Amino acid sequence: MRFSKVMVLAGISLLTLGLTACGDNAAKSTASFKNSSSKTSSSYKAPEPDAAVTGSSSKKEAQTYKPKTSATKSAEYVKSGNLKKTGQYTFDKVGTRLQLASVSHPKTTIKSGKLTYKVTTVRLIKNTAETAAAKRMAASALNLSSIKSPYYTIQVKFTISNSGNQALTTDGIKTIRLSADHDLNAAGQLSDASAGKTIPANGKLNTFATGLANEKTKPNFKTIKIAFAAAFDSKHQQVVNPTGWLKLTL
């Protein structure tokens, strides 16, 4: 059973790209699931974008990046990280500029056993590393030796509902298929916040995963597919099978 490390929505916890507020089970560090204020303060404090993958990196870097004043004067700059419209951008704590390239809301579901998976939002993010630390942390989070800037990440936000009378632990996403020859999974280029999380009996989990869509150039996806992994009971016995493919039209 794969219980991959849960990515702490750091880079992916800043971009609250206009998502609705999460329930009690949502990861608390996800800015995109909160109504955050964009009021300025005397001392700059970078948000923790949920669209930046740097937060799940194993590398330790100073998280004190402050963007240039000129970069914060644009009407498209959103200090809080609550990006709602294409073109809006923000910065994470290590110097990644995150810009919303596209967003869609499929609201498509698939079921396996007592678990129902509902994909609510798919976002394409343009990431520009302003610092060497931002590059190092992104590469680490995506299991790469290095990464070119800019790079594009795809983020899938979804809810897992448990209709059973026992808590179940999900192994997260099995695969995100971007094209016939481009799969994202836990073995590489996918940071999955849901893996290893427990959904209470008759409860739900609001979560997401972010993976590398492309480097340098913006990808043009019309559809993608996603398959979810198995789930287990408190005795680590598999009680929910992996799903088939769920097709998402973007």
- Residue 197 domain flag: yes
Residue range 29-85, pLDDT digits in tens? 222 222 233 333 334 444 455 556 555 555 566 677 888 999 999 999 998 887 889
CATH of the domain at 38: 2.60.40
d(CA 177, CA 41): 42
Look up residue 57 and give its two tokens. 């990196």
d(CA 249, CA 221): 9
- Residue 144 domain flag: yes
- Residue 149 domain flag: yes
Q: Give the rounded percent of residues in the chain with a pLDDT score beyond 70.
A: 75
Q: Which candidate, 83, 80, 84, places its Cα nearest to that of 48?
A: 80
28 pLDDT band, cuts 50/70/90, is very low
d(CA 104, CA 69): 31
Look up residue 191 and give its two tokens. 């940071």
C-alpha neighbours within 13 Å on the C-beta side of residue 158: 29
Look up residue 118 and give its two tokens. 């509902």
Residue range 194-225, pLDDT digits in tens? 999 999 999 999 999 999 999 989 999 899 99
* Total count of domains within the chain: 1
- pLDDT higher than 90, residue 170: yes
Mode of pairing for the β-strands spanning 168-170 and 182-184: unpaired
- Residue 4 domain flag: no
Whole-model pTM: value is 0.77
- pLDDT higher than 60, residue 27: no
Q: Which domain holds residue 143?
A: 31-249
Phi and psi torsions of 133, nearest 5°: -60, -40
Question: Any bridge partners for residue 162, and if so which?
Answer: 115
